[in-house]
Amino acid sequence: MKTGSEIIVDVLAKEGVETIFGYSGGAILPTYDEVFKYNEANSEKPMPLIVPSNEQGAGFMASGYARSTGKPGIVMVTSGPGATNTVTPVRDAMADSIPMVIICGQVSRQSIGSDAFQEAPITSVMGSVAKHVFLVTNEKKLAATLRAAFEVATSGRPGPVVVDIPKDVQTAEISDEDYEDANIAAYSDRISAIEKSRLSEEKSSEFFEHLANSKKPLIYFGGGVISANASKELREFVGHFNLPVVSTLMGLGAVDTQHRSSLNMLGMHGTPYANYAVQESDFLIAIGSRFDDRVAGVPEKFAPRAKVIAHFDIDPSEINKVKNAAWSHLGVLSLALEDLIKHAKNNNLEFNFSDWVNHTNELKSKYPLNFNRSSELVQPEHVIECINKITKGEAIVTTGVGQHQMWAAQYFDFKEPRLWLTSGSMGTMGFGIPAAIGAQFAHPDKTVIDIDGDGSIRMNLGDLETITNYDLPIKVLLLNNSGDGMVKQWQKLYYGGRLSASDKTLHTKDFTMSAKSDGFGFAERLTDQSKVEETIQRFINFEKAAFLEVVIDPEAMVFPMIGPGMSYDQMITGPFMEGKDPDPEVDGNDPKSMF
């Protein structure tokens, strides 16, 4: 006989769980006790339980772990507020297709629905934000339900799965012969059919017919490439056909950002040259991307010269959702790319797009990212450039959300996938510090850097203490512009400069003192432009946890920018970048018209 809690821990161990993130409480105590006993008995290979400042932090730590490894992040919390505090990270993971398993304690079965102490209707609350929710009401199905949770979280399009387990199920005794299966056959069959889908010779021929008719093909890839672990195949595909590529925010690193074919990020704050390439392309190949509003902007005006759009995805709901695709494939991305390369080789198909690739590289040279390099104030882009020079595209970078997030995306290089960890679709402030913690536990030997803003960092500032509690060598860089920078930018550009609730110049928070009080051996404040490089060098090379607050130019803005409801032809490059003249065929803005 085993208790439900013992079974939970057994399943986690058999699933290869290395780290659990969570916060204790009454309804999850039996399982926390079993984790403790398991770790005592397995001291050489334990499942450490990492405790954050609150449950939201646990969710983002598990997300950082999952994003940096591809393995499911594990969260274990108590009922009621413990579970509801994970709603935001669950929705965040769902929006970015991140595999997680969230185990919530629940009040005993007989108390469900009675408004018992710390009761919350988690199946109802989580049902609309998670990939799936299980409520275990039969202890005989506990093991099978947990195994099913891992299968659902990691198969198809990954996502978070919540398992709500009443306290009396955790304490119930169950014999081996009493185990019952959880029936997810319909889901498994549907996913299996998609995963078995391969490109036929006929379908492959159609794709290459479109490619042969194209003069300016462009690959537009997203986070789906990373979720599918298809970076290797994408790189081979790009190299074999010599095609230029643009990445979404979530796809950064799937192709080395320093590769000749890479035009870096497209979209609202994408590089000028990436956005210009999108405007010129006549065949857009969407791979693991979904035409998000921050990319497509005005869908009918996105990629206006693309006569054909091809779309690869594993989620049928994404095909033709925003832009109609003339050619599409639903299936495992790595296999599809392998099939196309194999078909091209077997049929001796060769293409020459060197003129187009040379042109996109000319766009890179002519319209590079830039900023105010003559200012006496510290420029955020300069700070990130200095860090990038040291880390050379090999560090794991996490961020909060806002201007600092976009500067980091623009000015950091990423040689490999899973080095760039950010909250994309949900845009959740407070993500950076806990995500860095999860990533550092997953990769103890890697340099992990959180780039944060003074607005975002406040959201989970308590987890600075978590960093030092576990002696993690995380580097936290705070770009402080005394306010919610991206909100202020929009207010200045589109709301008459009225800084409603976004200006924090009167706030008296001393962030470096907070870091020192939490045990950071390196905690400094930088205000002098002439000391940026020297300070950054000491900050990155410090052996233990380091905190650096940089007071940046409060007027610095993120450019380029495609405003809300605007098309790529209305991209603003700002005062320090070159931009093309307005397209005479489109009623667009001058790239510097707002200045």
Which positions are catalytic? Answer: 55, 117-118, 167, 486
- DSSP at 561: B
CB 550 within 8 A of CB 531: no
Which amino acid, residue 325?
A: A
CA atoms within 13 A of residue 324's CA, in its CB half-sphere: 3
Contacts of 505 (CB under 8 A, 6+ apart): 482, 483, 554
Give the alpha-carbon dihedral of 562, 568, 572, 578, to 10 degrees: 140
Closest CA to 390 of 242, 540, 525, 512: 540
**Token pair listed for 483:** 């306010």
Closest CA to 410 of 175, 587, 252: 252
Contacts of 115 (CB under 8 A, 6+ apart): none
CA 451, CA 539: separation in Å to the nearest integer?
13
Q: Say which residue the tokens 């790529």 belong to.
A: 568
Residue 235 Cα to chain centre, angstroms:
20
CB 190 within 8 A of CB 155: no
CA atoms within 13 A of residue 575's CA, in its CB half-sphere: 9
- 10 Å CB burial of residue 393 (0-12, 13-18, 19+) is middle
Q: How many CB atoms lie within 10 A of CB 110?
A: 10
Residue 198 Cα to chain centre, angstroms:
28
User: What interhelical angle do 201-212 and 333-346 show, nearest 10?
Assistant: 70
H helix runs in 141-288, sequence order: 142-154, 167-171, 185-195, 201-212, 223-227, 231-241, 272-280
Q: What does the radius of gyration of the chain's CA atoms come to, in whole angstroms?
A: 25
**Token pair listed for 28:** 């999850």
- 10 Å CB burial of residue 470 (0-12, 13-18, 19+) is middle
Contacts of 307 (CB under 8 A, 6+ apart): 213, 214, 282, 283
Q: Give the β-pairing of 2-3 and 173-174.
A: antiparallel
Kindly list the distances between the CA atom of residue 141 and the CA atoms of 153, 178, 181, in Å, as whole numbers in the listed order.
18, 9, 6
CA 337, CA 332: separation in Å to the nearest integer?
9
- 10 Å CB burial of residue 137 (0-12, 13-18, 19+) is middle
